[in-house]
Amino acid sequence: MSELMYLDCPICFFSKGGPTFSQEARQEFRERSLEQYQELLLINKDELQSVLETGIGMDKIRYMVPRLISIVDKEMGPGLMTLRKEWDMDLLDFLSKTLQTPELFGEQRAYVYGRTMIHFVRLVDPKLYHGDFIPSVTGSKDGFNNLSVEFGQSFVKDYLLYVSTLENSSIDDTERFHYTIGLEGEGTVFFWSTAQYVYSGLQTLGLDAKEAMITIFNWVRSAHKEGDKYNDIYSLYKNNFKGAEVFVKAGIWSIDKALGFDERCPSHLLYRLLSLEIAKILIDEN
């Protein structure tokens, strides 16, 4: 994947103005937001590509973070609670067939209980997850079938492949995953907004796929504190996930909307850069 894929970002920004604004004026505002994003990328393309490929040199482009945050504010992303909760299908069967992963049995299935499966669908097939919301954002259905989902699909596939190798998992461990990433709360939102990019960052920094997934699983385990029945922490400042302080230092105190429907959107680039720093923290602590 070319690191300059972000330059091909679809128009995924809010249109400004009330009912007196013409459709042309609204579209012009959205296109101008996209141009600002592309300009920031072009100015920093060499340094940005180097950081994403090697995981080194973040300090050279750190000034991009507040600029990206301001651009993300203009991005039309789905609210955290807009996801569908029911489908007329077996989601695990759908994912296994889509990603060609082995069937899960017994306690293995416990690692995908709760809302975990729904988040998997969001990462693998935004079209299924978001439904008609995507055309309303893009203004047409042209890009509806060409969404960039490579990082999400890779993470979910490798997660399911790793789970399929687990044997004799304890109930305590599977419940820990359910309570930490399978319910609701800021910690859960934080994980599902960063996991695919922390996983990618771990591999960028030298871990192989299995080592990176083991690190992700241990990251989840360490985020569950004894006595926590539900992961209902609604502030990143108090988040139990190691590395959450990276977001706080960047000025992101809470996550109030899901990542954009396409991995080329600015929210994905922002979270990928910050997640790379989290990956460094996890490697340094191991």
CA end-to-end span of the chain, whole Å? 29
In three-state secondary structure terms, 165 is coil
Identify whether the C-beta of residue 27 lies closer than 8 Å to the C-beta of residue 15. yes
pLDDT per residue, tens digit, the chain (286 aa), is 455 789 888 878 876 655 566 778 777 888 888 999 999 999 999 999 999 999 999 999 999 999 999 999 888 766 554 455 555 558 888 899 999 999 999 899 999 988 898 889 889 988 777 766 665 555 554 555 678 899 999 999 999 999 999 999 998 899 889 888 988 777 888 999 999 999 999 999 999 999 999 999 999 999 866 555 444 444 444 568 999 999 999 999 888 777 888 899 999 999 999 999 999 999 998 7
Confidence (pLDDT) at 240: 81
Distance CA 136, CA 173 (A): 41
Please indicate, yes or no, if residue 119 is contained in any of the structural domains.
Answer: yes
Q: Could you tell me the residue range of the domain that residue 112 belongs to?
A: 78-285
Confidence (pLDDT) at 84: 52
Distance CA 89, CA 102 (A): 18
Please indicate, yes or no, if residue 46 is contained in any of the structural domains.
Answer: no
Please indicate, yes or no, if residue 237 is contained in any of the structural domains.
Answer: yes
Please indicate, yes or no, if residue 105 is contained in any of the structural domains.
Answer: yes
Q: Give me the DSSP letters along 10-47.
A: ---BPPPS-TTS-HHHHHHHHHHHHHHHHHHHHHTHHH
Confidence (pLDDT) at 138: 55
Residue whose tokens read 């400004």 = 16
Q: What is the pTM of this model?
A: 0.89
Please indicate, yes or no, if residue 150 is contained in any of the structural domains.
Answer: yes
Please indicate, yes or no, if residue 242 is contained in any of the structural domains.
Answer: yes
Please indicate, yes or no, if residue 92 is contained in any of the structural domains.
Answer: yes
Confidence (pLDDT) at 20: 61
Q: How many domains does the chain have?
A: 1
Distance CA 153, CA 15 (A): 30
Sequence letter at residue 239 = N
Confidence (pLDDT) at 273: 97
Distance CA 84, CA 128 (A): 9
Kindly state the DSSP code that residue 102 receives in the 8-state scheme: P
Residue whose tokens read 């990928």 = 272
Confidence (pLDDT) at 173: 92
The residues that bridge with 213 in the sheet, in sequence order, are none
Q: Name the residue among 187, 170, 2 with its Cα closest to residue 80.
A: 187
Please indicate, yes or no, if residue 172 is contained in any of the structural domains.
Answer: yes
Identify whether the C-beta of residue 182 lies closer than 8 Å to the C-beta of residue 188. yes
Helix-then-strand count for the chain, H and E: 13, 0
